[in-house]
Structure 1
């Protein structure tokens, strides 16, 4: 290959990498930092909005497949996803579009702190991103009767998961609440070096009125 050909190939590779990085950055920004006007414009362009509902045990396999398409989320067993969609259905939500599962949020109220909702995982299919769906799903759970007394929201995020940081910091702003950060599970102490540290993000306190606003 000539020097000119190599230069063109390198330039094309860099262009593809830059385009991919830009696309990923836009997707990451879309869920947590887009303005309401931007979200509405995307919804209009994409047509119908996903239907939000309580998950069913029959959703377990679809949830497992969806999470597998949403790196860097950790994949659990299908059995675990079945439990999320059945035992934790009141504090989880499924998003359906044209009969397909395009979003899922799992969560639970912390047993010793029932005023706290812990969000386990948030998954949104590529075709449903940019609609503010992740935030809608979390707020759907917060607005349910079972969460009437919830005043704090917690989740854990790895340092490199920019989409989740944007999502939950944006949610905190909408709730008018503070964010506290601390390491919950350490890479070396808890994961024996096999997983990045998980940072606990605690949002709150917030009011019942704030949960239903926006």
Structure 2
């Protein structure tokens, strides 16, 4: 899972609230957690930043190149082709989100409902650009996407995380606490499956969840 979040010392006690206008109407549908979640640079919110308005929307195929470019310029994220993101946004837009400022893409999240378990939403990759200095944007993307999927009937949210990534683990625990849900963990993919130097992919499964 790839969410850019602050270091543990700077993660708030509660996940930052996302306004209703930021949420995108989503049908039941698509995505897998975040691979390679990473720390978001701590940014002091200036008066100018406070006026920055972020909009969340569903992706379209035309977003593929811009998202690919964001991934390529985010250290530590798994690299995929432009075609990959373009195809993903055609087939799995319902489980994904785009964050924009003045129509510029500043963040994204990809996810999907698992075909074998359609009540389970998997968050695969998400990242946010530090260019506009928007605090906790990666966390807000995760919260918005997960909350809208729960509202659309998802009962579980999943993501895979490195055991060393304390920041995202804290975010997942806060999400579970917010929904009064339990967390199950296990190694989904051991490092031995990967040809390069890769950590174990530890699955975090949160649920059961309810929209109430």
TM-score (norm 2): 0.74
Structure 1 residues 104 and 145, CA gap change in structure 2 (3 angstroms):
closer
Classify the secondary structure of the residue corresponding to 2:191: coil
Indicate the residue corresponding to 1:206 in structure 2: 209
Tell me the number of residue pairs that the alignment of Structure 1 and Structure 2 aligns. Answer: 182
Q: Deviations over 1:65-100 (max 9, x none)?
A: 112232322111111111222211111000001221
The alpha-carbon deviation at position 136 of structure 1 amounts to: 2.7
Map 1:143-182; keep pairs closer than 5 Å. Answer: 143-144=147-148, 148-182=152-186
The alpha-carbon deviation at position 175 of structure 1 amounts to: 2.0
Of 85, 88, 92, which aligns to 2:92?
A: 88
The alpha-carbon deviation at position 42 of structure 1 amounts to: 4.1
Classify the secondary structure of the residue corresponding to 2:80: coil
Structure with greater proportional helix content: 1
Q: Could you say which structure has the greater relative contact order, defined with CA pairs below 8 angstroms and 6 or more residues apart? A: 2
C-alpha separation in 1, matches of 2:126 and 2:84: 15
The runs of 5 or more residues in structure 2 that have no matched partner are: 19-43
Classify the secondary structure of the residue corresponding to 2:7: helix
Cα RMSD over matched residues? 3.0
C-alpha separation in 2, matches of 1:56 and 1:65: 16
The runs of 5 or more residues in structure 1 that have no matched partner are: 1-25, 210-214
Structure 1 residues 162 and 170, CA gap change in structure 2 (3 angstroms):
same
In the alignment, structure 1 residue 104 sits paired with structure 2 residue 82:
no
